[in-house]
A and B are shown apart, each in its own frame.
Chain A
């Protein structure tokens, strides 16, 4: 077997050293009927060679036709340019084939890279402290809400309906388990969180208010200052879900006095990968550091007073605090965090702003063309970053299916999440959508509607 290097001679020597006569004897501690069942039922397809595997996989890869299409898909995962070096770093053996840095003296590379990731996230969000990563944004939102409950002991969470519907679903799963109540705050006609409704529902029983910006419908929440005031007046915490690239132009969460920032870090150099692995960002104010979930890398010194890095504040974590830990998370997304650190370092302040400006300007160019062509948007008076909702005169699936014939994936039909909203499509534009793509999209969209 290719990955088990033992020769028959070595096997015999080792069995002899152990004092058994066969491999089977090493399994004498397993009851016979368990072994018999395993023998009778453990039947996988026959093994294949690496060459055959490549062929099999290439056949499967070809069935992923969508990858070759011009795509306007967004909704929490975005096709951004990934600089080659980010992909190379993910193949550095000492990064990708290492375990959690339990032995810091030989893991300074991973630890410093994660320290830099934490620092860069703080710079980007203007928060005080960030952890070493969570799985992705959906479970990240849940960890933030639970962190809020630990901080203030209150058991009701107010959530804007601008939150990604999958984050919201995840939130219900996590919070119900601990009997924490969720109150949804609807959006107003401009697609922003309804402030009047928020004022009505918030009370001194509210643990946190959860907002996403830009929200799921691509709308920029322009009253965050007001939301912050209302939230803090009731001693509740403001939790904000972010799209990191948008912070290249939008005011940082720290400037709004947000308490906990979460976000999907996929846009920071992580491949789309059909949904994962991604990167759960979590950052907060310094005063809440002991309530944070997940690993945190901190600076220290060695016996010779040289700078070094270690996992710190581990008493919050499951391997020490067990049932009283701040979270059960152990394995996280360290490699994604390192990729994000490399991405942010490569782009720098200028690059991140520039990517954000390209996304913004191309999305608004498309929006402008759609307006000129007489298309309607669901929230025409809203501000957007790189995503918005288009109204279609006919069922959105008919439009999407027609566009497919032109090798275009025209966006996400809103009815995927809200079945009653049959004639709307969520459209995202990034630096990967050329002006030619945008023009071809408009032409094809007109055709789709005229022909159906």
Chain B
């Protein structure tokens, strides 16, 4: 439930780095806590965010939760499918349910994130 090849933030986002492109989403634990996701407010393409800035907002019926960017960079792509089917995040948080791709500006930030083992300890999994 917590793939080894990803890095995790304390706010329950994950990052997958390929070259200088980071794909960002939320963890299995986060989607479970949120419950049925009904809407995702995606960032605009071209927006630059710093680490821990608000990247997106995920809504369930009774909550609206900020998704913090686990890494600094420029948004180059968002998951358009979430506009029609936000529930993909619940169904498949790591593959189909990714949120945005960022061109990262500071690869060193990756070291501030947790590996799967550490993250599992954080959430008590």
Q: Give me the interface of A with B, judged by CB distance under 8 Å.
A: 290, 314-315, 320-321, 324
Contact = CB atoms under 8 A, between A and B. Distances in A.
Nearest to B38: A315
A315 B61 CA distance: 7
B61 to A, nearest CB: 7
A324 B64 CA distance: 10
B24 to A, nearest CB: 21
A324 B41 CA distance: 14
Contacts of B59: 315
A273 B86 CA distance: 47
Contact of A321 (B39, B60, B64): B64
B15 to A, nearest CB: 25
Interface string B30-72: 0000000001010000000000000000011111100000000
9 contacts: A290-B39, A314-B61, A315-B62, A315-B63, A315-B64, A320-B62, A320-B63, A320-B64, A324-B64
Contacts of B62: 314-315, 320
B37 to A, nearest CB: 11
A181 to B, nearest CB: 25
Interface in B10-25: none
A101 to B, nearest CB: 15
A311 B19 CA distance: 46
B17 to A, nearest CB: 31
A324 B54 CA distance: 13
Interface residues of B, number: 8
A320 B59 CA distance: 10
Contacts of A314: 61-62
Contacts of A320: 62-64
A324 B63 CA distance: 12
Contacts of A290: 39, 41
Contacts of B64: 315, 320-321, 324
Nearest to B59: A315
A342 B30 CA distance: 45
Contacts of B60: 315
Nearest to B62: A320
A335 B11 CA distance: 43
A250 B59 CA distance: 40
Contacts of B61: 314-315
B46 to A, nearest CB: 15
Given A290-B41, A315-B63, 4 more contacts: A315-B64, A320-B63, A320-B64, A321-B64
A320 B41 CA distance: 16
Interface centre among A290, A315, A321, A324 (most CB of B within 10 A): A315
A290 B57 CA distance: 13
A324 B57 CA distance: 12
A290 B62 CA distance: 15
List of 3 A-B pairs having minimum Cβ-Cβ separation, nearest first: A315-B64, A315-B59, A321-B64
Contacts of B39: 290, 315
B57 to A, nearest CB: 9
B44 to A, nearest CB: 11
Interface centre among B39, B59, B60, B62 (most CB of A within 10 A): B59
A318 B61 CA distance: 14
Interface centre among B39, B41, B64 (most CB of A within 10 A): B64
A307 B64 CA distance: 26
A258 B16 CA distance: 45
Contacts of A321: 64
B62 to A, nearest CB: 6
B109 to A, nearest CB: 26
A324 B62 CA distance: 14
Nearest to A317: B64
A320 B66 CA distance: 13
A312 to B, nearest CB: 8
A320 B65 CA distance: 10
A143 B117 CA distance: 49
Nearest to A322: B64
Contacts of A315: 39, 59-64
B67 to A, nearest CB: 14
A308 to B, nearest CB: 14
A315 B59 CA distance: 7
A168 to B, nearest CB: 33
A321 B65 CA distance: 9
A321 B58 CA distance: 12
A152 B46 CA distance: 17
A290 B83 CA distance: 13
Contacts of A324: 64
A323 to B, nearest CB: 12
A324 B66 CA distance: 11
Nearest to B61: A314
A320 to B, nearest CB: 6
A59 to B, nearest CB: 51
A290 B63 CA distance: 14
A335 B89 CA distance: 39
Nearest to A319: B62
B39 to A, nearest CB: 8
